[in-house]
Amino acid sequence: MSTSIHIALAASALLSAIVFCTFSGARADKLSPDAVTIQVYPDSNSGQISPDFIGLGYETSAAAQTDFFSAKNVKMIQLYRNLSHRGLIRIGGNVSDHTVYVPNGASTPNSEGGVTIINNKSLVDLGDFARATGWKVMWGLNSGTGTKEEAAVEAAAVSSALQDRLQSFQIGNEVDLHREFGGKYDAYYSSYRDYKAALRTALPDAPISGPDCAHDIDWAAQFAKDEGSDIKLLTCHYYRGGAGSKEANLATLLKNDDSLDADLSTLNIVSQTSGVPYRINETNSYWGGGQLGVSDTFGSALWCLDYMFKLASNGCSGVNIETDINQLGFISHYSPIVHDDAGNCSVRPDYYAMLAFAMSGQGNLIKVDLTKDDINLTSYASSDDSGSIWVTVINKDLSRDAKVNVTLPDGYRSGKAYWLTAPSVGSLDDVTLAGSEVNDSGTWSPKSIENLKIENGSTSVLVAHASAVLLHLSGR
């Protein structure tokens, strides 16, 4: 996309956001804030948030870009380390089924309509990048247009380059949509077993995750029964919908997805029964590169923060937020991290959601009682190793503010607030966490931290519509 077109589209989206914000703000002025109460139970334990919960996902074509995954890309390394010192990179997507490994060939990124070439240097650079960030890599093998023998050779090269940074391999992408299987699990599983045998012949201890299904949760359940003793993770994808549809808007995105709730409940049961952790290893707002003026806005960041906590609350071991160049060959609108033609990295709103989760989504999840009317507001809590409590309040309502009263547990006598805000729900830029943006070097540190006023064992904060706050309670 040309720069002029991008600016015009961004300006149009921003104008829409200003108009919308004026309307919603006027309405909010006429309404009293909704009363919301939160009770936290510090001695409860709703499950541990995995240390490698945070992840990013890429099409394999991203790994074929020159000096992208590289120890030279110091700003992107810093952006990763802001989020986690031990996250997970997933390389795969539709392009993985249109990728060939040519050891000394010319590294060539391409869309799913062409052929992406990965060479030895691509893999060595990826390994160096992973070591610099502290993250590991899940690598997707071609089971669509390649052969099992080619996949085994590629896997051996990936293993040699990544060494201890290799988390696992995946055989195929969105296998429940493969035409050759015709929607039949048995046909897929027969092919999987053939590929697995070839892979294990080349690498006897090769770690594998799967099945990498697009939406058919029954495939994940059956795969857990068939392969549960021999896989590291159960993997599935999720998108709220498709870009370009009439439902691809902020109102839909910010509304609860009941079908997601049902799928997560099923996956949690499957995971507990099989003893295999599950991960949503490809996900974002709207597939097809995201919806311009929706997926790249502050509203998407509110969705992303809530979504990550929803996953963790349903026993999910982690999430890979899809980013960068997509299967169609352009950088997706929903990308938390983007780069220009010169390779310079910058962040979009969803990055701040991930940064907020990195602060407040640590340790153990603990029980929260939330009392509210029908305002679109959610809350989560966790306790870290120091005994401090983080309470995250996300007001996804597009017009209603909330006066939130939090009862502090016994022994907690002080607290601080870190606000996640933007000029409007439709803002493309000027998103801040604790009053601070990511700077030109990729670093971030809080600038504006509010000391909470504690009275009679409780504190109150006004959480405006389309905003979020992280409350850090301590002093026990």
Residue 64 has pLDDT above 70, yes or no: yes
Buried b (16+ CB within 10 A) or exposed e, 308-332: bbbbbbbbbbbbbbbbbbbbebebb
**d(Cα 423, Cα 24) in Å, to the nearest integer?**
12
Closest of 7, 124, 42, 66 to residue 339, by C-alpha: 66
Residue 4 has pLDDT above 80, yes or no: no
Residue 211 has pLDDT above 70, yes or no: yes
One domain for residues 244 and 328: yes
Tell me which of 360, 382, 411 is where a domain ends: 360
One domain for residues 464 and 433: yes
Looking up residue 151, the CATH number of its domain turns out to be 3.20.20.80
- pTM here? 0.93
Q: What's the pLDDT tens digit per position in 325-354?
A: 999 999 999 999 999 988 899 999 999 999
Give the residue numbers spanning the domain of 99. 54-360
Triad 262, 268, 270: Cα angle to 5°? 105
CA distances from 432 to 23, 272, 284, 297, 379 (A): 23, 38, 21, 13, 20
Residue 353 main-chain phi, psi, to 5 deg: -65, -45
One domain for residues 317 and 452: no
Confidence of residue 476 (pLDDT cuts 50, 70, 90): low
**d(Cα 222, Cα 202) in Å, to the nearest integer?**
26
404 close to 465: Cβ distance less than 8 angstroms: no
What is the residue-averaged pLDDT of the chain? Answer: 93
Residue 386: the pLDDT is: 86
Triad 388, 394, 399: Cα angle to 5°? 150
Instruction: Give me the mean pLDDT over the 217-235 stretch.
Output: 97
Residue 32 has pLDDT above 80, yes or no: yes
pLDDT > 90 in the chain, percent: 90
One domain for residues 347 and 238: yes
Question: Where is 378: in which H helix or E strand?
Answer: strand 377-383
- One-letter amino acid identity for 131? R
Least confident of 6-15, 30-39, 379-388, 407-416: 6-15
One domain for residues 30 and 135: no
One domain for residues 99 and 144: yes
Residue 28: the pLDDT is: 42
Residue 37 has pLDDT above 90, yes or no: yes
Q: What's the pLDDT tens digit per position in 146-204?
A: 999 999 999 999 999 999 999 999 999 999 999 999 999 999 999 999 999 999 999 99
One domain for residues 250 and 397: no
DSSP 331: B
Tell me which of 333, 360, 387 is where a domain ends: 360
**d(Cα 337, Cα 172) in Å, to the nearest integer?**
25
Tell me which of 307, 331, 360 is where a domain ends: 360
> How many distinct structural domains can be found in the chain?
2
Beta bridge partners of 337: 347
Q: Is the torsion defined by CA of 417, 422, 425, 428 positive or negative?
A: negative
Q: What's the pLDDT tens digit per position in 387-429?
A: 899 999 999 999 999 999 999 989 898 999 999 999 999 999 9
Structure tokens at 203: 């690498």
Residue 342: the pLDDT is: 87
Residue 128: the pLDDT is: 98
